[in-house]
Amino acid sequence: MTTPSLLILPGDGIGPEVMAEVRRVIDWFGDKRGLAFDVSEDLVGGAAYDKHGTPLHDDTMAKAQEVDAVLLGAVGGPKYDVLDFSVKPERGLLRLRKEMDLFANLRPAQCFDALADFSSLKKDVVAGLDIMIVRELTSGIYFGEPRGIFTEGNERVGINTQRYTESEIDRVARNAFDLAMKRGKKLCSMEKANVMESGILWREVVTKVGEDYPEVELSHMYADAGAMQLCRWPKQFDVIVTDNLFGDLLSDAAAMLTGSLGMLPSASLGAPMENGRPKAMYEPVHGSAPDIAGQGKANPIACILSFAMALRYSFDLGDEAARLEAAINAVLEKGVRTADLLGEEGVTPVSTAGMGDAILAALDESL
């Protein structure tokens, strides 16, 4: 059997720090569970620009197309704000998503019981929360044409175009329905069909796809109302599917229900490759956090949970993913906390590496 391959792209800011803890977890699975991975590493974002003058070198892009999964840390930072838009660090991330055709972005929002008090919402609203937002990732307003800043008469105008084809909506909807079948068999589709023609098409196509999934309870909601309902009673949802722009906004809103961006992973999935595995990239939801980079304050859990998603969705190792998730839960239950999760009495503050130590110890205890 071919050894599964991983390309690690630590990126900028805290990316290298949190990814270092992921490397330790990967090594643990190799040493203790016999799960070997062919791991390579390369540059993306500002780090790639500093060396190559581009946020993603063509050779790196080629590697990403060949491996079974990509693990990405974070990109960007204030030192790159002066760069032309075409070479900003974020363009490297967008190129990966676009050229790998990673059309379905899975963003879970799960509230660990030990962290329920960290949410800005009441504990009873978020305790036990476990929802999945599926965001379309390669089309919509971020990629539609025409776009740009133009001069009309005596003033400038900025233009972005919301554009979706039936096939683009169909494939992300099927991904969401497939997930719903494995979870609570409940799916809510969010758009703005009341004011946007693209929203009308979105609702029609999702409804049509739903006919192939009669066991799934399908509902529709305007995205602005969905944002309100996420804050009012998020546990009414199980799987949410939505477009690129609304998915960006709604998933970040859902992220803060859990108490910290440092806790949230994501997966970006594409079409199956020849080996049957989907093209995939996994990354934490948080950014590069340059204000704490190099200080050992970053929370590596989101990045480690992203590797857990890779175990589940790319390598069919759901039991091992659950093992890793349970180890993280055990650590949190013991009161081990990085800087973003401090604030309650009786906790044990640890560094980025200290959290990695605790998770590895919990994994040892799971054997």
Q: What is the pLDDT of residues 12-71, one digit of tens each?
A: 999 999 999 999 999 999 999 999 999 999 999 999 999 999 999 999 999 999 999 999
pLDDT of 9 strictly over 70: yes
Query: Is residue 113 situated within a structural domain?
Result: no
Q: Which residue shows structure tokens 């093209």? A: 279
Task: For residues 145 and 252, state if they share a domain.
Answer: yes
pLDDT of 229 strictly over 70: yes
pLDDT of 285 strictly over 80: yes
* pLDDT value at residue 257: 84
Task: For residues 185 and 98, state if they share a domain.
Answer: no
Q: 163 falls in which pLDDT band (50, 70, 90)?
A: very high
Query: Is residue 124 situated within a structural domain?
Result: no
First-last CA distance in the chain: 25
The identity of residue 10, as a single letter, is P
- Are 335 and 358 in contact by the 8 Å Cβ rule? The answer is no
Residues 83-114 have pLDDT tens digits of: 999 999 999 998 999 899 999 999 999 888 88
Q: 262 falls in which pLDDT band (50, 70, 90)?
A: confident
* pLDDT value at residue 114: 85
Give the structural domain span for 344.
Answer: 1-106+273-367
- Evaluated on CA atoms 41, 47, 50, 55, the torsion sign reads positive
Query: Is residue 111 situated within a structural domain?
Result: no
Query: Where among 199, 229, 257 does a domain terminate?
Result: 257
More confidently predicted of 344 and 175: 175
Q: Phi and psi (nearest 5°) for 174?
A: -65, -40
3-state secondary structure (DSSP) of residue 16: helix
* pLDDT value at residue 139: 94
Task: For residues 83 and 147, state if they share a domain.
Answer: no
In the chain, what percentage of residues exceed pLDDT 70? 100
Radius of gyration of the chain (CA): 20
Task: For residues 10 and 95, state if they share a domain.
Answer: yes
Query: Is residue 115 situated within a structural domain?
Result: no
- Are 299 and 255 in contact by the 8 Å Cβ rule? The answer is no
- Are 255 and 214 in contact by the 8 Å Cβ rule? The answer is no
* pLDDT value at residue 166: 98
Task: For residues 134 and 234, state if they share a domain.
Answer: yes
* pLDDT value at residue 1: 63
Report how far residue 206's alpha carbon sits from residue 64's, in angstroms, rounded to the nearest whole number.
31
Average pLDDT, the chain: 94
Quick count: other Cβ atoms within 10 Å of Cβ 316?
A: 12
pLDDT of 311 strictly over 80: yes
pLDDT of 291 strictly over 80: yes
Report how far residue 287's alpha carbon sits from residue 292's, in angstroms, rounded to the nearest whole number.
11
Q: Which residue shows structure tokens 């059997």? A: 1
Task: For residues 232 and 295, state if they share a domain.
Answer: no
Weakest mean pLDDT among 2-16, 60-74, 118-132, 156-170: 118-132
pLDDT of 210 strictly over 80: yes
Query: Is residue 329 situated within a structural domain?
Result: yes
Q: What is the mean pLDDT of residues 312-319?
A: 93
What are the residue numbers of the active site? 142, 192, 224, 248, 252
Quick count: other Cβ atoms within 10 Å of Cβ 39?
A: 18
- Are 75 and 46 in contact by the 8 Å Cβ rule? The answer is yes
Weakest mean pLDDT among 21-35, 195-209, 247-261, 331-345: 247-261
